[in-house]
């Protein structure tokens, strides 16, 4: 399969580069610059390489770099921002602080010699009438690009030709067509660069010679075939949480290594209504005896008895999870690797470079260290959530599993204030299911709002009510619905009153024990999405 390598030097937009190339129909994967040698890179058979941006200065000691022979390896390279400076630096050009100071934001890009022409740089022998720069096919002579840099390429290396400038940056684009090396000081991957996508398309098709045709659905097939090779003869253990990521990882691994995959699904008794059965229904037919469902609810609820402090609840659940998992793993005999559903944003959040870092708040984050696994397999580490979902659907996983909203590892424990009891968990499961069902139905039939996460919280506030001729003294249920892009900040969703009224009526009518329903109108910040 043809593929492009995005060699990551720590830029802010690296993931966007890979995404844009994939959306142009060619598979692209990101690797930290330090994780690959030149020979390792060559062995992977990339059609082209992109050097990304990054925060460093190429001329500082210890700055991220790569084997200079990459430039003569016969593989097309596109350098972007830091990557452009690195390319120039490795090829013998001069890089230094931009004389006109740092340039940030919108800039007017002007192609040298008009749309088709190329102008000589400082390279001896370059002539002003050289071949048109392939990156700029179909790009007008003047357009807008987006810059973000403090250094610049002051002098082009030998053999390179200037292709475009901005008022603040003479060498905004340059190239050496004989070696298929191309460099852009600006960022083609951001939408503010008017013809940026066109430039990336030109790179992968005209320069790298890709034929395209790849779609996000192909992720599934290509990952499965890669895993099959990498895990030949190995036994792999996966902690299946029932969330989207671990479910998709499980299905990919199952297809790749069959019964050498064992999935342990720990039901801590704090899942949403019907969730444990949903996971089992989806995976039992696929995994058979390779799925171990551990009902550890007694154990978890026992340890949580009498605990009201949220942090203590989280700690107990994390520890207990590891203990149960260790016990189950201990019964399985030799296992070669632990698999996890880490996705690309998890890696970005944990800091990049070097070996894969396991996110500390990942549900099974403590496992690899505690269990001494020498090998960690992360089949989804290149993908974004929407790509993971698409792969899951492609693999035939049920839509209700694949399209579900995020659910915290500690489960309903962080949605019950005060002490947790089996009865409280049951009340919350019932009420939460009603709320989610009504929102889903409303969105399907009427729409009119966007809801990224919605759930119920059982508070420990009880209040007086009246039903029939009787006094009630039930719990207060809080409904939470937020609109957010990244869950770092969130706004409460302005839900229609009639929807809230219907939910309130159903919950108080169908879930005895809850006598009052309130709607949470807090945004994040100052609140968080979860209550605890």
Query: Which residues are the active-site residues?
Result: 81, 187, 189
Stretch that binds ligand XMP, among 144-152, 212-220, 406-414, 418-426 (CB under 6 A): 406-414
CB nearer to ligand XMP: pick between 121 and 409: 409
Binding string, residues 468-507; x marks residues near ligand XMP by CB under 6 A: -------------------x--------------------
Distance CA 434, CA 453 (A): 15
- Please answer whether residues 53 and 80 qualify as being in contact, where contact means their C-beta atoms are separated by less than 8 angstroms: yes
Could you tell me the smallest distance in angstroms from the CB atom of residue 528 to ligand XMP?
3
Nearer to ligand XMP, 11 or 410 (CB): 410
Total of residues contacting ligand XMP (CB under 6 A): 12
The minimum distance between CB 410 and ligand XMP, in angstroms, equals 5
Cβ–Cβ < 8 Å for 264, 292: yes
CB-CB contact of 395 with 251 (8 Å): yes
In this structure, is the dihedral angle defined by the CA atoms of residues 150, 155, 134 and 130, taken in order, positive or negative? positive
Q: Is 450 in the site for ligand XMP (CB under 6 A)?
A: no
Buried residues in 46-73 as b, exposed as e (16+ CB within 10 A): bbbbbbbbbebebeeeebbebeeebbee
Which among 158, 175, 203 is positioned nearest to 20, based on CA atoms? 203
Q: What is the largest CA-CA distance in the chain?
A: 98
- The region of 109-117, 135-143, 262-270, 403-411 touching ligand XMP under the rule CB under 6 A is 403-411
CB of 362 to ligand XMP, least distance (A): 7
Under the binding rule (CB under 6 A), the answer on residue 520 touching ligand XMP is: no
| β partners of residue 339 | 238, 377
Measured from the CB of residue 138, what is the shortest distance to ligand XMP in angstroms?
41
Measured from the CB atom, is 102 or 528 closer to ligand XMP? 528
Judge contact between 482 and 529, C-beta under 8 A. yes
Q: Using the rule CB under 6 A, give the single segment among 168-176, 184-192, 365-373, 522-530 that binds ligand XMP.
A: 522-530
Tell me how far apart the alpha carbons of residues 348 and 193 are, in angstroms, rounded to a whole number: 24
Distance CA 362, CA 370 (A): 14
CB closer to ligand XMP out of 4 and 402? 402
User: How many Å apart are CA 113 and CA 195, to the nearest integer?
Assistant: 18
Site for ligand XMP in 290-309 (CB under 6 A): none
Q: Which two tokens stand for residue 450?
A: 């966007």
- Which DSSP helix (H) or strand (E) runs through 415? none
Report the residue number, 181 or 279, with the smaller CB distance to ligand XMP.
Answer: 279
Between 121 and 410, name the residue whose CB sits nearer to ligand XMP: 410
The span of 22-30, 278-286, 322-330, 402-410 binding ligand XMP (CB under 6 A) equals 402-410
Q: State the minimum distance, in angstroms, from the CB of residue 484 to ligand XMP.
A: 8
3-state secondary structure of 171: strand
The dihedral over CA atoms of 155, 157, 162, 167, expressed in degrees to the nearest 10, equals: -20
Q: How far is the CB of 449 from ligand XMP (least distance, A)?
A: 18
Instruction: Give, as ranges, the residues between 178 and 197 that touch ligand XMP (CB under 6 A).
Output: none
Contact 184, 125 (CB under 8 A): no
Q: Contacting ligand XMP (CB under 6 A), which of 177, 408, 411, 474?
A: 408
11, 76, 113, 410: which one binds ligand XMP (CB under 6 A): 410
Q: How far is the CB of 317 from ligand XMP (least distance, A)?
A: 9
DSSP secondary structure letter of residue 119: B
Stretch that binds ligand XMP, among 5-13, 75-83, 365-373, 524-532 (CB under 6 A): 524-532
Comparison of 43 and 488: residue with beta carbon closer to ligand XMP: 488
Q: Is 130 in the site for ligand XMP (CB under 6 A)?
A: no
528 binds ligand XMP (CB under 6 A): yes
Distance CA 327, CA 354 (A): 31
Interactions with ligand XMP, residue window 337-366 (CB under 6 A): 361, 363
Shortest distance in whole angstroms from residue 358 CB to ligand XMP: 13
Q: At residue 415, what are phi and psi to the nearest 5 degrees?
A: -125, 15
User: Quick one: CA torsion of 143, 144, 149, 155, rounded to 10 degrees?
Assistant: 10
- Minimum distance of ligand XMP from residue 530's CB (angstroms): 3
Instruction: Rule CB under 6 A: choose which of 31, 115, 336, 530 binds ligand XMP.
Output: 530
- Of 206, 275, 274, 205, the C-alpha closest to 240 is 275
Of the candidates 472, 453, 363, the residue with the CA atom closest to the CA atom of residue 408: 363
- Cα distances from 445 to residues 115, 335, 398, 433, 440, in angstroms, run 51, 48, 21, 18, 9
449 touches ligand XMP (CB under 6 A): no
DSSP string, 465-504: EEETTEEEEEEEEEEEEEE-SSSSSBEE----HHHHHHHH
Choose, by CB under 6 A, the member of 57, 143, 197, 453 that binds ligand XMP: 453
Q: Point out which span in 67-75, 296-304, 332-340, 521-529 binds ligand XMP (CB under 6 A).
A: 521-529
Query: Nearest approach, Cβ of 488 to ligand XMP (angstroms)?
Result: 8
Applying CB under 6 A, the residues found at the interface with ligand XMP are: 361, 363, 406, 408-410, 453, 487, 524, 528-530
């Amino acid at each position: 399969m043809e593929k492009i390598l995005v060699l990551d030097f720590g830029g802010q937009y690296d993931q966007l580069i890979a995404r844009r190339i994939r959306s142009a129909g060619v598979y692209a994967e990101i690797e930290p610059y330090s994780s690959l040698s030149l020979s390792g890179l060559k062995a992977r058979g990339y059609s082209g390489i992109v050097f990304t941006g990054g925060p460093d200065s190429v001329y500082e000691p210890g700055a991220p770099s790569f084997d200079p022979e990459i430039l003569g390896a016969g593989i097309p390279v596109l350098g972007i921002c830091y990557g452009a400076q690195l390319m120039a630096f490795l090829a013998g050009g001069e890089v230094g602080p931009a004389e006109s100071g740092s340039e940030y934001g919108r800039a007017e890009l002007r192609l040298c010699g008009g749309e088709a022409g190329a102008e000589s740089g400082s390279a001896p022998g370059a002539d002003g009438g050289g071949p048109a720069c392939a990156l700029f096919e179909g790009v007008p002579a003047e357009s807008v690009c987006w810059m973000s840099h403090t250094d610049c390429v002051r002098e082009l290396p030998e053999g390179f030709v200037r292709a475009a400038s901005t008022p603040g940056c003479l060498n905004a684009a340059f190239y050496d067509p004989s070696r298929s090396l191309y460099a852009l000081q600006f960022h083609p991957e951001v939408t503010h660069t008017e013809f940026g996508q066109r430039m990336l398309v030109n790179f992968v098709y005209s320069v790298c010679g890709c034929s395209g045709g790849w779609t996000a659905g192909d992720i599934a097939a290509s990952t499965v075939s890669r895993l099959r090779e990498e895990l030949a003869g190995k036994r792999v253990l996966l902690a299946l949480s029932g969330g989207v990521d671990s479910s998709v990882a499980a299905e990919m691994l199952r297809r790749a290594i069959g019964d050498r995959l064992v999935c342990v699904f720990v039901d801590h008794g704090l899942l949403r209504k019907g969730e444990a059965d949903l996971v089992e229904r989806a995976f039992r037919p696929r995994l058979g005896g390779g799925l171990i469902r551990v009902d550890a609810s007694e154990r978890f609820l026992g340890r949580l008895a009498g605990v009201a402090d949220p942090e203590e609840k989280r700690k107990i659940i994390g520890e207990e999870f590891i203990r149960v998992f260790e016990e189950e793993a201990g019964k399985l005999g030799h296992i070669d690797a632990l698999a996890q559903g880490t996705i690309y944003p998890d890696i970005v959040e944990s800091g990049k470079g070097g070996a894969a870092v396991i996110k500390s708040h990942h549900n099974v984050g403590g496992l690899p260290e505690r269990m001494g696994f020498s090998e960690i397999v992360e089949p989804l580490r290149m993908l974004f959530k929407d790509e993971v979902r698409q792969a899951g659907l492609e693999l035939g996983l049920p839509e209700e599993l694949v399209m579900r909203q995020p659910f915290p590892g500690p489960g309903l424990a962080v949605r019950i204030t005060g002490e947790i009891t089996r009865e409280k968990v049951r009340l919350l499961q019932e009420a939460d299911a009603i709320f989610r069902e009504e929102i889903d139905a409303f969105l399907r039939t009427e729409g009119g709002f966007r809801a990224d996460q919605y759930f119920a919280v059982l508070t420990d506030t009880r209040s007086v009510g009246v039903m029939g001729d009787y006094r009630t003294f039930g719990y207060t249920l809080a409904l939470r619905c937020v609109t957010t892009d990244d869950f770092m900040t969130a706004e409460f969703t302005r839900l229609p009153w009639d929807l809230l009224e219907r939910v309130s009526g159903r919950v108080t009518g169908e879930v005895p024990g809850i006598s009052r329903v309130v709607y949470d109108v807090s945004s994040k910040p100052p609140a968080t999405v979860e209550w605890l």
